[in-house]
């Protein structure tokens, strides 16, 4: 039983409370990604990360962790009498697993006297905990919270969570009705296109995109699925506007994904023709160049999206821009002109240079 304050944000019910580390161990669980059925989204904790937290507790005389542990539970997992929260089933950790593991590490003998330190902290150290109530298991609130908390400032990969969100978005679509193509659906389409290109042996992108459940090899795979899906998003947005009038029926979903895959392949064929020296002799990825990395795909797909008109003239206009540009193979080299421009501001400058809106002296 935990004394708690009830609050609400945008119709999401929450409870704010405090727990000792032993209580969190007892009443919480981290739902880790299951590759077999592609459920859940948490990665295993990183030892280097949680050991730093353990070291902090061992070396700091007055440690403080004011940020709340964020968790979630279902509507049947608790009781609340207006003051006290009774947790009937374990709460799911959304954010804070490394803090918990860091303190558990002390108990498991991190260093001399660490077990005694754990016992001391368990008596004196309160951890703030905020628990969201997820009434519908298919709701995206919990996943969105994880993505928002970990994609801004933290070095935590959120691709598993994004992949799960897209899976739920797709499954929630009604086959019998058309719906408005919102940001969640566009993101799902972008991820699905990225997956298909990566898994298609005939695609130029076959095996090059690091998947959500892969560590990846940067010498062989130039870009993550999150980064690639973001780079093609302007094309997906334009496609939905031109071809779908921003309306989509679930029964047409796979057909649309295949169609956009074709668009991406055609665009990349134009790129390869213009800068063939940036690729190996057989047309495969050459790690000496940035053209297949974020710098290349964000700028080049971005340029195409601005001339894409659902017609062959869109490709002709794109080819004309590439043929006119003064950008050379050397500019795409790792360590070359564009290295250091891997930001949205940098992508914008490279796009202007490609389109002739910016001279080399102005770049």
Query: For residue 32, how many C-alpha atoms fall within 13 Å in the half-sphere facing its CB?
Result: 5
> pTM here?
0.65
Helix axes 312-324, 294-307, angle to 10 degrees: 130
Check residue 156 and give its pLDDT. 58
Burial class (CB in 10 A: 0-12, 13-18, 19+), 203: middle
Query: Hey, what are 316's tokens?
Result: 């002709």
Rounded Cα distance between 36 and 145, Å, is 24
pLDDT of residue 70 exceeding 80: yes
Check residue 140 and give its pLDDT. 73
CA-CA-CA-CA torsion sign (336, 340, 341, 344): positive
Give the rounded distance of the alpha carbon of 49 from its chain centre: 20
- Using 50, 70 and 90 to split pLDDT, how confident is the model at 54? very high
Burial pattern 179-201, b for ≥16 Cβ within 10 A else e, equals eebeebbbbbbbbbbbbbbbeee
What pLDDT, in 10s, does the model give residues 100-148?
999 999 999 888 899 999 999 999 999 999 999 988 776 677 777 777 7
Look at the chain and count its residues. 363
Cross-strand bridge partners of residue 7: 14
List Cα–Cα distances, 109 to 25, 43, 64, 113, in angstroms: 17, 24, 21, 8
Rounded Cα distance between 279 and 288, Å, is 9
pLDDT of residue 274 exceeding 70: yes
Check residue 196 and give its pLDDT. 93
């Amino acid at each position: 039983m935990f004394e708690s304050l009830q609050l609400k944000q945008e119709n999401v019910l929450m409870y704010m409370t405090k727990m000792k580390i032993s209580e969190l161990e007892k009443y919480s669980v981290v739902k880790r990604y299951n590759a077999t059925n592609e459920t859940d989204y948490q990665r295993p904790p990183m030892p280097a990360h949680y050991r730093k937290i353990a070291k902090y507790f061992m070396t700091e005389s007055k440690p403080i962790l004011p940020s709340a542990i964020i968790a979630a539970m279902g509507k049947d997992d608790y009781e609340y009498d207006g003051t006290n929260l009774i947790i009937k089933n374990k709460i799911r950790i959304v954010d804070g697993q490394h803090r918990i593991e860091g303190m558990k590490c002390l108990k498991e003998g991190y260093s001399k006297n660490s077990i005694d330190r754990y016992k001391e902290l368990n008596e004196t150290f309160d951890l703030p905990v905020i628990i969201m109530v997820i009434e519908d298991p298919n709701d995206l609130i919990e996943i969105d919270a994880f993505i928002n908390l970990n994609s801004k400032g933290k070095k935590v990969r959120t691709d598993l969570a994004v992949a799960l969100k897209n899976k739920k978005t797709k499954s929630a679509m009604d086959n019998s009705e058309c719906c408005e193509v919102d940001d969640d659906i566009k993101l799902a389409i972008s991820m699905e296109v990225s997956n298909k290109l990566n898994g298609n042996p005939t695609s130029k992108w076959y095996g090059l995109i690091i998947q959500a459940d892969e560590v990846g090899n940067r010498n062989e795979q130039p870009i993550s699925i999150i980064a690639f899906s973001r780079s093609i998003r302007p094309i997906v947005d334009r496609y939905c506007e031109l071809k779908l009038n921003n309306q989509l029926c679930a029964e047409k979903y796979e057909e649309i994904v295949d169609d956009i895959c074709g668009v991406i392949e055609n665009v990349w064929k134009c790129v390869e023709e213009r800068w063939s020296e940036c690729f190996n002799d057989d047309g495969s990825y050459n790690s000496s160049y940035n053209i297949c990395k974020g710098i290349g795909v964000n700028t080049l797909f971005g340029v195409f999206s601005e001339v894409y008109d659902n017609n062959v003239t869109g490709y002709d206009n794109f080819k004309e821009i590439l043929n006119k540009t003064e950008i050379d193979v050397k500019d795409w080299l790792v360590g070359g002109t564009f290295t250091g421009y891997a930001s949205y501001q940098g992508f914008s400058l490279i796009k202007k240079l490609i389109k002739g809106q910016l001279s080399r002296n102005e770049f």
